[in-house]
Structure 1
Amino acid sequence: MEKDSVHVFAPATVANLVCGYDILGLALDEPGDEVIMERIDKPGVYLKAVTGDDGRLPLDPAKNTVSACVQMVLAHLGREDIGVEITLHKHMPIGSGLGSSAASTVAGLFAINQLLGQPLTTRQLLPFAMKGEELACGHGHADNVAPSLYGGITLIKSYDPLEVVQLNVPEELHCAVVFPHVDVPTRAARQMLRSKVDLKDAVVQWGNIAGLVSGLFLNDYGLIGRSMKDVLIEPTRAILIPEFYEMREVALKCGALGFGISGSGPSVFAFTRSRDIAQEVTKCIHAHLDEKGIGSNTYVSKVNTEGPKML
């Protein structure tokens, strides 16, 4: 049944999970973005307001991912006679490596689908979300939008054809996330990466990806931790993140299973086997960064298996 207005939340995400560049990601309980969408008499998609972005995001509906993707959906469904007004509330830092653009995009797509009585499945919404990522950062990857849209931990088995697999989430698994207040633009972080890799490094990476996926399904926390190693991407991206290796040392000393960069950074994350350990990890890393004169935001969360939701 169609609605006159909806208020939705879409979660932030951790992409790559250290060894799974562009193919692995998970959804967090917090932070995330909220969208309020209301039907209006005038046809078209209008961006009423954006809060929490310090004026950094465009208000042009064709250039903001939340509204641009709604325009695409309405065109796809032949419903361009409909008018909607969108308010976007950003509750997460932009450029944090926590899927900020993905959360906005998914919130908008989930909202318009709810408003229209759910004419599209989650699988049908995913390509529109990837178009939003392309608009935001120049690359239509799915490792942020897929977990934000589906919830849980997702594996992009292939991009052509697009195939997403939802992985098992061990019951005790928690995430400790720290966003250091340093700037690492996503486009710049991608441009630094090598276009070719050594076969011996690729073999190591394949083993770690397979080990991580196996550890998730086997509920083997030790195997999960041992598999959280990246020989392809992390050595390059870590250069852009002050105190990265020191933060990893702190996390592992505090009982983290494994530690790495969230997306393109600068956020970092650790897997732990309890909320208490996750809270200790974030507290210790925050204190370490504070000593170095670097501010930070911290988040502790289980893996969010629900994905976007109505508020």
Structure 2
Amino acid sequence: MEQVRVYAPATVANVACGFDIFGFAVDRPGDEVVLTKKDTPGIIISEITGDEGRLPLEVHKNTAGIAIQKYLEHIGRTDQGFTMALHKDMPLGSGLGSSAASAVAGVFAANELMGKPLSQKELLPFAMEGERVACGSAHADNVGPSLLGGFVIIRSYNPLDIIEIKVPEDLFATIVHPQVEVNTKDARSILEREIPLSKTIEQMGNVAGLTAGLLLSDYELISRSLEDVIIEPIRSILIPQFKEVKSAAMAAGALGCSISGSGPSLFALSRGLETAEKVAVAMTGAFKDAEIESEAYVSGINQRGPVVS
């Protein structure tokens, strides 16, 4: 095989109470990489679409490019060269794991063309290097679910320990992206460095409760646990109409609603597709009341991760 086209899904990270440790994949949006072998060493990024000219073509500055480069170094095949085209199908700075999806699509495509010397899970450290380029931190709560699919827990970063857990079949996500932008680095910079013990205990209870609720298919427990008492109160000030949109989601029947990643996208979880679609209408309507245009996506929890398209 000389060329492969790979689509990697967007993700919701943090999932309310699970800052930097929870994430799940959705069906759309996502990013696509077309990777082609070439006869000479080195990676050439020939084209990037959908980014309004904002992403770098230099390999060491590009999330997909650096992920592929680190992968080739690891397997000892720096003699193999590639030409890459990247097609962005989601907005930058959206809180939907845009940089992660690009890195995952790139390294997954490279592994396909090299004959799959590594397992899917073994590709994770290279995709994480793409995240380091994008936001200065090699976190895995976006690349983990984008690469592995489903809902993941990052139990530890040193050593890296990723846990994949089952979720109820009737659990659906609504994601709404308003036409505003929040930079990940900015969103991290405003966070408190010290957390009161009482808030830490409350957040730990929600993390444990959400994990148990998913495993037990206990929707009421999921709903009670989708509360973030540490990050959301601070980051929500960066998102116009946040309180109104969250209230609209809950009134429409959502189990819970919070910020997707660092925002500005919001996500809600619901029981059943019909409810998730009603929640989408309510959330976009609340943004529209403030004259903010937004786009909604409704999806089950994507269990596949990247696919050859």
TM-score, length-normalised on structure 1?
Answer: 0.98
Separation in structure 2 between the aligned mates of residue 257 and residue 205 of structure 1, nearest angstrom:
17
Q: Following the alignment from structure 2 to structure 1, what is the Cα–Cα distance between the partners of residues 276 and 258?
A: 14
Partner of 1:274: 272
Alpha-carbon distance between aligned partners in 2 of 1:33 and 1:167, rounded to the nearest angstrom: 24
Q: CA deviation at 1:123?
A: 2.5
**Gaps (5+ residues) in structure 1?**
none
CA contact (8 A) 2:121 2:147 kept: no
Report the Cα distance in structure 2 between the residues aligned to 1:61 and 1:195, rounded to whole angstroms: 33
Counting only pairs closer than 5 Å after superposition, residues 190-269 of structure 1 correspond to structure 2 as 190-269=188-267
Q: Which runs of 5+ in 2 are unaligned?
A: none
1:148 counterpart = 2:135: no
Counterpart CA distance in 2 for 1:240 and 1:104 is 25
* Segments of 4+ moved more than 3 angstroms: none
> What displacement does 1:76 show?
1.3
Residue 92 of structure 1: aligned partner: 90
Task: Give 2:5's aligned residue.
Answer: 7
Report what 2:121 is aligned to: 123
Separation in structure 1 between the aligned mates of residue 233 and residue 161 of structure 2, nearest angstrom? 29
Alpha-carbon displacement from aligned partner over 1:71-124 (angstroms, at most 9, x marks no partner): 111111111111110010100010000000000000001000001011111222
- State whether structure 2 residue 80 is matched by structure 1 residue 82: yes
- The Cα shift of 1:223 comes to 0.4
Q: Distance in 2 between matches of 1:228 and 1:189?
A: 20
Q: Which deviations, in whole Å up to 9, do the C-alpha atoms of 1:225-281 show, x marking residues without a partner? A: 110001110000001011111111100110000000000000000000111111111
2:16 counterpart residue number:
18
Give 1:69's match in structure 2, choosing from 47, 67, 70.
Answer: 67
Aligned residues: 309
Q: Equivalents in 2 of 1:271, 1:291: separation in Å?
A: 22
Residue-by-residue CA offset, 1:110-167 (whole Å, 9 max, x unaligned) = 0000010111112221111111101100111100000001100000011111100001
184, 187, 200: which one pairs with 1:186? 184
Q: What SS does structure 1 have at the residue aligned with 2:59?
A: coil
Structure 1 counterpart of 2:295? 297
- Alpha-carbon distance between aligned partners in 1 of 2:2 and 2:305, rounded to the nearest angstrom: 22
CA contact (8 A) 2:148 2:305 kept: yes
SS in 2 for 1:141: coil
* In structure 2, distance between residues paired with 1:123 and 1:171: 23
The CA distance in 2 between the partners of 1:78 and 1:164, in whole Å, is 25
Task: Verify the 8 A CA contact 2:26 2:301 in the aligned structure 1.
Answer: yes
C-alpha distance in structure 1 between counterparts of 2:304 and 2:13, whole Å: 17
Q: Secondary structure at the match of 2:240?
A: coil
- CA–CA separation in structure 2 for the residues paired with 1:259 and 1:65: 29
**Tell me, what secondary structure is at the counterpart of 2:54?**
coil
Aligned to 1:45: 43
Instruction: Give distance in 1, aligned partners of 2:167 and 2:113.
Output: 30
- The residue that corresponds to 1:109 in the other structure is 107
Distance 1:128 1:69 in 2: 5
CA distance in structure 1 between the aligned counterparts of 2:259 and 2:220, rounded to whole angstroms: 19
Q: C-alpha displacement at 1:32, in angstroms?
A: 0.3
For the residue of structure 1 that corresponds to 2:267, the secondary structure is: strand
Corresponding residue for 1:308?
306
Percent of matched pairs sharing the same residue? 51
Give 3-state SS (helix, strand or coil) of 1:158's partner: strand
Residue identity opposite 1:179 in structure 2:
H
**RMSD over aligned Cα atoms:** 0.7
Using the TM superposition, give the Cα deviation of residue 173 of structure 1 relative to its aligned residue in structure 2, in angstroms.
Answer: 0.2
Whether the aligned pair in 1 keeps the contact of 2:10 and 2:96 (CA below 8 Å) is yes
Give the secondary structure class of the aligned counterpart of 1:62: helix
Q: How far 1:41 moved relative to its partner? A: 1.5
Task: Give, in whole Å, the separation in 2 of the partners of 1:124 and 1:230.
Answer: 31
- Shifted more, 120-129 versus 239-248: the winner is 120-129
